Structure 1
Amino acid sequence: MANLKFHTSAPADLEGDLASLRGDCARMAPHWTAPQKSVARPVPLSLIHGVTVPAASARLLEAMPEYGN
């Protein structure tokens, strides 16, 4: 049997207002870090393999002006 006890540092305020929510977020912010920004690089075509597109999907995209024409 698992131990399902939960410990919180503050009681849940289900009826709080926006100021209460902002305060909660401000207290949580130091616990979260943003990942380093990474630059997306194009993938070489030689690494793309094994991709199949069903004929119905290809026809659907072909019929869409912004994709097929």
Structure 2
Amino acid sequence: MPNFEVPSTAPADPDGGLAALRGDCARMAPHWTAPAHAASRPVPPSLIHGVDVPVRSARLLDAMSDYGD
């Protein structure tokens, strides 16, 4: 029976720190492809409808000093 060597995709130490994270990202980068950049076009104002924020979220942001002051 053949013994296949399969490299592990998981880091050896899950708490390896920033160096381990950068190494994981470098190994994954070839698997990610960037879409072709499409030229953006202006959006007509009739298509812009604003943003609805739930009251609970608005209160949370209002209570944060970075946003509410």
Q: Same fold (TM over 0.5)?
A: no
TM-score (norm 1): 0.33
